[in-house]
Amino acid sequence: MAFTLDVTSMTEPVVGAGVPAAEWPTLAARFREAHAAVAGIAATGVYGYRELEAQADERARVTTFAAGVQGQYDDIVVLGIGGSSLGAMALRTALLPAAWNARTDAQRGGRARLHVLDNVDPRTIAGVLSIVTLPRTLFVVISKSGGTIETLAQYLVVRARLDGDGLEAARHLAFVTDPAKGALRVIAARDGIPVFAVPPNVGGRFSVLSPVGLLPAALCGIDVEGLCAGATVMRDATMGDDLEHNAAGLFATLQWRAHERAGQGLHVMMPYSDALRDLAPWFVQLWAESLGKINRDGTHVGPTPIASVGATDQHSQVQLFMEGPADKTVTFLRVDAAADDVEIPRLESGEPALAFLGGHTLGELLDVECRATASALARAGRPSMTMTVGASDAWHVGGLMMWFMQATTLAGALYRVDPLDQPGVELGKRLANKDLGHPNFLSEAKGTLPQDAAIPHRRLRVG
Ligand code: PA5
């Protein structure tokens, strides 16, 4: 089995505000319109995340480089943020064995540990730098623009350490950035640092299948060709304009419809699989940064994605999903065959609270809990859908990520926004650059605050 999307619990009569049978033709027509809009834009070449064949040469450079340095490093440290780091984190969790970084060299088969910084909190950076052995570490600096202050600050901290220890930059750094522009290109050319290109038409949060996600993955032995093969199959299966046969279109249309017609704009992504748990924050960034915008009609639109994980959050957020405001949809991600399943021992046979568990497996328990939660939500009138993947291997994970990216592109057309831009984050970036003394920061274009002295501050200090 490959992928199955079950949307029964998004429909009437299973849930009250679900899609009634009579509405399907309208939704199918709306989807065809959105699909046509995407197809029109696609002709301009902006959806580079789909062009996996065109990226084969750069992918080959990535795998050749990774094979060439195999055994030279014990630790790979990714420096990056947002779309330049969340994909690597999702791939690490999904495709490397559990507790990878805690395993011995022998248990890792000689492959490197993988750390992803994803922030500028000094605690994390100092913590990672304190446990790696610099002469055995490769730092992969990832920034499409080459101008993101968090990533550049991480780089400066690391570079000073390398220089201070007399270590050669060209052996301990690799860059992933724009093919022609940006500060990282200049430094790479000057210092002979290996550099890999993010195609200009692949945006940060859509870049996991470019060297942004693939270089860290390949360096740890993940099957990048398998990832791209699964993604290609999913891409080809999600290009059509027939709602009932396009799984990405179905996901996008039903989420959009739940938001627009039923006031359910909070979209929970809930993997019942620890391997897939970091796909949820990756999806959250993709869905939020792509769709939360002022749309072409001048309206503030966009769903609010929420990351959750089963069964853990049954003891946390599920209470809210069941009985809180009816403003959410839940998407369950489940794996058909749990890897390395564990049988629950038949112990404590005299104790009814434990005895019945004996003989089942932990994978079975997780799966039963997923189905039970979906059923409980439906009984409470709360919509959900379930995506089942055949296994949590590279092929399926690549397919799943492509499914989400295709769905996001189509949802952009439904919400009437450009899913590829992020104008809303620019002002904060400019203000931070200004405060730090960037010589060329652009003065803010819009949005004002009263002068500080005129603001009646309300602050409470305790202790
Ligand atoms: O999705 C996006 O475009 C952003 O989240 C970027 O990935 C993030 O801002 C980092 O940008 P860059 O790769 O240019 O450093």
Ligand 1 atom nearest the C-alpha of 145 is 14
Residue 442 has pLDDT above 70, yes or no: no
- Residue that finishes a domain, picked among 204, 222, 240: 222
Q: Ligand 1 centroid vs 205 CA: distance in angstroms?
A: 7
- Which of 200, 222, 244 corresponds to the end of one domain? 222
Domain boundary among 192, 222, 252: 222
Please name the residue ranges forming H helices in 263-303: 279-291
* Same structural domain, 114 and 63: yes
Distance CA 214, CA 87 (A): 9
Residues 301, 175 share a domain? no
User: 434 pLDDT band (50/70/90 cuts)?
Assistant: confident
Question: What is the rounded distance in angstroms from the CA atom of residue 212 to the CA atom of residue 146?
Answer: 13
Residue 374: inside a domain: yes
Nearest CA owner, ligand 1 atom 2: 204
Q: How confident is the model at residue 312 (pLDDT cuts 50, 70, 90)?
A: very high
The pLDDT value recorded for residue 451 is 73
Whether residue 1 has pLDDT greater than 80: no
Neighbours of 11 (CB within 10 A): 17
In the reported structure, the alpha carbon of residue 322 is separated from the centroid of ligand 1 by a whole-number distance in angstroms of 35
Give the residue numbers spanning the domain of 22.
3-42+229-415
249 lies in the same domain as 294 = yes
Nearest to 89 by CA among 331, 281, 339, 313: 281
198 and 251 both lie in a single domain:
no
Rounded to an integer, the average pLDDT of 35-62 is 97
Instruction: Reply yes or no on whether the pLDDT at 144 is more than 90.
Output: yes
Q: Are residues 160 and 203 in the same domain?
A: yes
Instruction: Clarify whether residues 119 and 218 are in a common domain.
Output: yes
206: tokens are 């859509």
Q: Is the pLDDT of residue 445 over 60?
A: no
Q: Indicate whether 236 and 268 sit together in one domain.
A: yes
What are phi and psi for residue 307, nearest 5 degrees?
-90, 135
- The pLDDT value given to residue 101: 97
Tell which atom from ligand 1 comes closest to the C-alpha of 425.
9
**Distance from the CA of 157 to the center of ligand 1, in angstroms?**
20
Q: Which of 181, 260, 369, 429 is catalytic?
A: 429
- What is the spatial order of strands in the sheet that 384-389 belongs to? 3-6, 384-389, 328-335, 266-271, 304-307
User: For residue 264, is pLDDT > 80?
Assistant: yes
Active-site hit among 300, 315, 446, 457: 315
pLDDT score of 453:
74
Q: Tell me the pLDDT of the chain averaged across its residues.
A: 95
Find out whether the beta carbon of 422 lies less than 6 Å from any atom of ligand 1: yes
Residue 446 lies in a domain: no
The pLDDT tens digits of the residues spanning 349-390 come to 899 999 999 999 999 999 999 999 999 999 999 999 999 999
Residue 93 in any domain: the answer is: yes
Which residues, at least 6 apart from 271, have a Cβ–Cβ distance to it below 8 Å?
277, 279, 280, 309, 310, 332, 333, 334
210 lines ligand 1 (CB under 6 A): no
Q: What percent of the chain has pLDDT over 90?
A: 90
* Residue 177 Cβ < 6 Å to ligand 1: no
Structural domain contains residue 370: yes
83 CB near ligand 1 (under 6 Å): yes
Predicted confidence at residue 441, as pLDDT, reads: 65
Q: Are residues 89 and 9 in the same domain?
A: no
Q: CB of 144 closer than 6 A to ligand 1?
A: yes
Q: What is the pLDDT of residue 454?
A: 79
> Are 22 and 159 in a shared domain?
no
Determine if ligand 1 sits within 6 Å of the CB of residue 118.
Answer: no
pLDDT confidence tier of residue 458, bands split at 50, 70 and 90: confident
Is residue 74 domain-shared with residue 192, that is, in the same domain?
yes
Ligand 1 contact via 203 beta carbon (within 6 Å): yes
Q: Which of 150, 259, 289, 328 is catalytic?
A: 289
Q: Rounded to the nearest whole angstrom, what is the distance from the C-alpha of residue 153 to the centroid of ligand 1?
A: 15
Q: Is 244 a catalytic residue?
A: no
215 shares its domain with 356: no
Look at residue 448 and tell me if it is in a domain. no
Q: What is the pLDDT of residue 427?
A: 82
**Could you tell me which residues come within 8 angstroms of residue 247 by beta carbon, excluding any fewer than 6 positions away?**
3, 5, 234, 237, 238, 403
- How far is ligand 1, taken at its centre, from the CA of residue 272, in Å? 28
Ligand 1 atom 8 nearest Cα: 82
Q: Which of 79, 118, 145, 209 to mutate to test the pocket of ligand 1 (most atoms within 8 A of CB)?
A: 145
pLDDT tens profile 85-124 = 999 999 999 999 999 999 999 999 999 999 999 999 999 9
Beta carbons of 144 and 198 less than 8 angstroms apart: yes
Query: 127-157 burial, b if ≥16 CB within 10 A, otherwise e?
Result: ebbeebebeebbbbbbbbebbbebbbebbeb
Q: Is the pLDDT of residue 452 over 80?
A: no
Q: How confident is the model at residue 446 (pLDDT cuts 50, 70, 90)?
A: low
* 428 band by pLDDT with thresholds 50, 70 and 90: confident
Partners of residue 19 on adjacent β-strands: 11
Q: Whose CA is nearest to atom 12 of ligand 1?
A: 143
pTM (2 d.p.): 0.96
For residue 168, give the CATH number of its domain.
3.40.50.10490
CB burial of 255-290 (b: ≥16 within 10 Å; e: otherwise) equals: bbbbbeebebbbbbbbbbbbbbbbbbbbbbbbbbbb
Q: Is the domain of 94 the same as that of 171?
A: yes
Tell me, yes or no, if 315 is annotated catalytic: yes
- Measured between alpha carbons, how far apart are the two ends of the chain, in Å? 59
Whether 85 lines ligand 1, by a CB cut-off of 6 Å, is no
Residue 243 lies in a domain: yes
Mean pLDDT of 194-215: 98
Q: Is residue 88 in some structural domain?
A: yes
Which of 220-254 are b and which e, b meaning 16 or more Cβ less than 10 Å from the residue's Cβ?
A: bbbbbbbbbbbbbbbbebbbebebeebbbbbbbbb
Confidence category of residue 337, pLDDT binned at 50, 70, 90:
confident
Whether the CB of 150 sits within 6 Å of ligand 1: no
Q: Please say if the pLDDT value at position 195 is more than 80.
A: yes
**Average pLDDT score over residue span 297-319:** 98
Confidence of residue 173 (pLDDT cuts 50, 70, 90): very high
313 lines ligand 1 (CB under 6 A): no
Q: Which ligand 1 atom sits closest to the C-alpha of 142?
A: 13
Task: Label the pairing between strands 266-271 and 328-335.
Answer: parallel
Decide whether any atom of ligand 1 lies within 6 Å of the 211 Cβ: no
Answer yes or no: is pLDDT of 345 > 60.
Answer: yes
Above 80 in pLDDT, residue 298?
Answer: yes
- Helix, strand or coil for residue 5? strand
| Separation between Cα atoms, residue 231 and residue 332, nearest integer Å | 20
φ/ψ (deg, to 5) at 356 = -70, -20
pLDDT, mean of residues 219-233: 98
Q: What is the pLDDT of residue 386?
A: 98
Helix-, strand-, coil-residue percentages of the chain, each rounded to 5: 50, 15, 40
Atom of ligand 1 at shortest distance to CA of 150? 15
Q: Answer whether 205 contacts ligand 1 (Cβ < 6 A).
A: yes
Ligand 1 centroid distance, CA of 138 (Å)? 21
Least confident of 274-283, 320-329, 453-462: 453-462
Q: What is the tally of structural domains in the chain?
A: 2
pLDDT of residue 150: 96
pLDDT for 437 equals 85
Q: Is residue 458 part of a domain?
A: no
The CA-CA-CA angle for residues 426, 145, 210, to 5°, reads: 120
pLDDT score for 443: 55
Give the pLDDT band of residue 11 (cuts 50, 70, 90): very high
CA gap 346, 173 in Å, rounded: 52
